[in-house]
Amino acid sequence: MNSTREEDSGGLEGVGKWVAIASELPCSVISLLFVGQIVGASLWGAEGETWGVLIGAFAGFFLGVWGVYVTVQYYEKQEHSSLKRRPYTPSREEILEEPDFLQEEESAEE
């Protein structure tokens, strides 16, 4: 079922979620690195800037890894719930039953 859908879309169906996962770690490291640099420089000067960069980079790495883990868990949960859904299949009686608009036309002809 999924293989035909991927072939129809050219294999680019799940690219968005993988781009989100791949960019989460570097973005968190870079952003917290700059935050650490600014906070360290404003509180402790040039030496504090170095320590702020190091602390920000490590904090960004650990928060980025945690964010990737949470994101992957979310996508796996979403995928499993979509696989469990079954499409609606009407019963045989419902399929063989005449629709209302045909019954109205037959009663109007009589």
Instruction: Read off the pLDDT band of 61 (50, 70, 90).
Output: very high
Instruction: Read off the pLDDT band of 81 (50, 70, 90).
Output: confident
Q: How far apart are the first and last CA of the chain?
A: 48
- For 51, residues 6+ apart whose C-beta sits below 8 A from its C-beta are 40, 44
Q: Is the dihedral of CA 86, 91, 95, 100 positive or negative?
A: negative
Mean pLDDT for the stretch of residues 24-44: 94
Q: Does this model's pTM top 0.85?
A: no
Helices (H), the chain: 2-8, 15-84, 92-96, 100-109
